[in-house]
Amino acid sequence: MIDPRALPKAELHVHIEGTFEPAQIFQFAQRNNVQLAYPNVAALEQAYKFTDLQSFLDLYYAALAAIRTERDFEELTIAYLQRAQAQGVRHAEIFFDPQAHLERGLSFETVMNGLWAALRRSRSEFGITTALIMCFLRDQPETSAMETLELAIPHRDKIIGVGLDSAELGNPPSKFQRVFDRARAAGFLTVAHAGEEGPSEYVWEALNLLKVSRVDHGVRSMEDPKLVTHLAQMQIPLTVCPLSNVRLRVVDRMQDHPLKRMMDAGLRCTVNSDDPAYFGGYVADNYSAVHEALELTDDDLVQLARNSFTSSFIDDDTKQLYMAEIDGLVAAI
Ligand code: ADE
Ligand code: ZN
């Protein structure tokens, strides 16, 4: 059996704020004089029992109170890159949620400068190429997203695309059609969370109205045969996050996860960690979990790793280098 950590892979769906580990939350809170609602790490971890997406988001946003400075963003990102390296990540496309920081009084520059201080060292220090994707919080008004987009435009050289995250139900992609039109006109690629808790109709909207290059999650697409046919024909990548789906009760048990059925239907699936500090594992742990529960073969795992590179936004030459690394590993087993 292939060790999933040894498999070179791209991670295409990870929220940097979702990599904030409990110990680091307390470390930052202490040095920034921020009072948390929990007395210690163990008490905080006890609260990581989620019933749905919103119950997780409430904790995820609350923990961000501990992040105040550029140094915090830099250290958060370096800690992720260290873990990602140990998980065999060669390329990471990282989401961030500026609105969650702006509303706490931080500046867009504090967020960007901190993230960038880490990412500019990533290739040389960790052997990981990176890209940044800025997400709009879909439970905030369209006007807030538009203002955030204007703040990002001067940083277009450091931000490859925009996405859509936070509470999905009741916040369809159509709400952000004008924002995404403006983002594409400014040169950003687009992705969106769709079909995680929301219906397959939201996946259609993400494709048709937001013109996304990838769908984040998309697991509920399986409820719509016409959509499955379309996604398969167009080879639209889906960034599936199995441990997240179990922890947020999108599926009851890992054995019920649709990933294998999605692959068998010809969908271009990738496996990712989403918010690894909250969901019990980083990206290779997600590969291991589906390998065990869904009886995936080594070939399936290799296919998922190949899909992660073909679905990424890196240039073709770098893509070929990473694919050759996979070929090398396959030839050696
Ligand atoms: N923000 C962080 N993780 C998320 C998820 N899984 N779905 C929607 N918004 C998120
Ligand atoms: Zn996500």
Domains of the chain: 9-332 (3.20.20.140)
- C-alpha 153/C-alpha 165 separation (Å) is 19
The pLDDT tens digits for 217-254 are 999 999 999 999 999 999 999 999 999 999 999 999 99
Residues with beta carbon inside 6 Å of ligand 1? 15, 18, 53, 60, 165-166, 193, 196, 244, 274-275
Q: Cα of 61 to ligand 2 centre, how many Å?
A: 14
Q: Cα of 157 to ligand 1 centre, how many Å?
A: 25
Whether this prediction's pTM lies above 0.85 is answered by yes
- CB-based neighbours (< 5 A) of ligand 2, an ion: 274
Tokens of 150: 């204007």
Q: Which of 238, 274, 279, 286 to mutate to test the pocket of ligand 1 (most atoms within 8 A of CB)?
A: 274
The pLDDT tens digits for 50-85 are 999 999 999 999 999 999 999 999 999 999 999 999
Q: Which strand ranges, in their side-by-side order, compose the sheet holding 129-137?
A: 9-15, 89-96, 129-137, 161-165, 189-194, 214-217, 237-240, 268-271
The helix/strand/coil state of 186 is coil
- C-alpha 110/C-alpha 318 separation (Å) is 30
Residue 1 has pLDDT above 90, yes or no: no
Give the end-to-end CA distance of the chain in Å, rounded to a whole number.
9
| Amino acid identity for residue 170 in this structure | G
- C-alpha 14/C-alpha 54 separation (Å) is 18
DSSP conformational letter for 175: G
Q: Which of 48, 99, 196, 219 to mutate to test the pocket of ligand 1 (most atoms within 8 A of CB)?
A: 196
Q: Cα of 217 to ligand 1 centre, how many Å?
A: 10
Q: What is the mean pLDDT of residues 96-114?
A: 98
Q: What are residue 161's phi and psi, to 5 degrees?
A: -160, 175
- Residue in 277, 283, 285 with CA at minimum distance from that of residue 44: 277
- Sign of the CA dihedral with 275 first, then 102, 172, and 177 last: negative
- C-alpha 238/C-alpha 309 separation (Å) is 12
Q: Cα of 62 to ligand 1 centre, how many Å?
A: 14
Tokens of 328: 């090398």
The pLDDT tens digits for 24-44 are 999 999 999 999 999 999 999
- C-alpha 247/C-alpha 237 separation (Å) is 23
Tokens of 153: 């435009």
DSSP conformational letter for 154: G
Q: Which of 48, 176, 193, 220 to mutate to test the pocket of ligand 1 (most atoms within 8 A of CB)?
A: 193
